Structure 1
């Protein structure tokens, strides 16, 4: 087996893992008040990861997706900064507390960054 085939199989496996991860992210969002929005975002990224195993996705679509995810994450950046200034960092793993909107904002910010990196990986995958 050549190195190129091994590399291709490795990236394909990684993409299947990314598909499952983002699909799980999407399903988990369905219990949120704005679950449809977040389900759509994560499901879209999951589909990009899956489809790119079978055919290349145009760079323009990938770049537009990355830019969109980063712009949307920028709206949550100040909440993330607020979280960084808190003493109890473990709160991020607990339930949403309405008096602390920075918790949900931080989760959304980090989720959008993870999604953006998932799509960025696709641009690297398409280059090889």
Structure 2
């Protein structure tokens, strides 16, 4: 973020930041909707369709300024908790990284390589967390700019 000394410069930067956040949220919403759709053939489709659907919904709400901190924090708590579980699970990310030398996880999944699904799910959760953190950071930035303008 660029900080300008003039009030007009701050307003332009704020508008640019808001546009960036809207575009980022639109991008994430599309990615999460596509991800939710793809989950229909997953071993646990309802869970992952719900997870990605929630991410898409919160991003769409953020585009229109209808989101709330509670939605972002609730998502973060769940997504971080589940990511930690997937990381340390018996066939999770740690297993993939330490015992299987972080081999390619873009190939097809099989019963003899259960860490592939857990690793992919883990990285999906990281992307969801990134989207929520981005929204929380910019919400705070926009709120601080609004209060500074009112104080002047």
User: By how many angstroms is 1:89 displaced?
Assistant: 1.5
| Alpha-carbon distance in structure 2 between the residues aligned to 1:110 and 1:27 | 17
* Aligned pair partner of 1:44 in 48, 54, 71: 54
How many correspondences in the alignment?
A: 127
Give structure 1 regions of 4+ aligned residues with deviation exceeding 4 angstroms: none
| Alpha-carbon distance in structure 2 between the residues aligned to 1:83 and 1:19 | 29
Query: Aligned pair 1:80/2:76, yes or no?
Result: no
> CA RMSD, aligned part only?
1.6
Q: Equivalent residue for 2:103?
A: 89
The structure having more radius of gyration, on CA atoms, is 2
Query: Aligned pair 1:32/2:42, yes or no?
Result: yes
DSSP 3-state at the match of 2:124: helix
- Give the TM-score taking structure 1 as reference length: 0.90
- Give the TM-score taking structure 2 as reference length: 0.77
Larger RCO, structures 1/2 (Cα 8 Å, 6+ apart): 1
Q: Which runs of 5+ in 2 are unaligned?
A: 1-10, 143-152
User: By how many angstroms is 1:88 displaced?
Assistant: 6.2
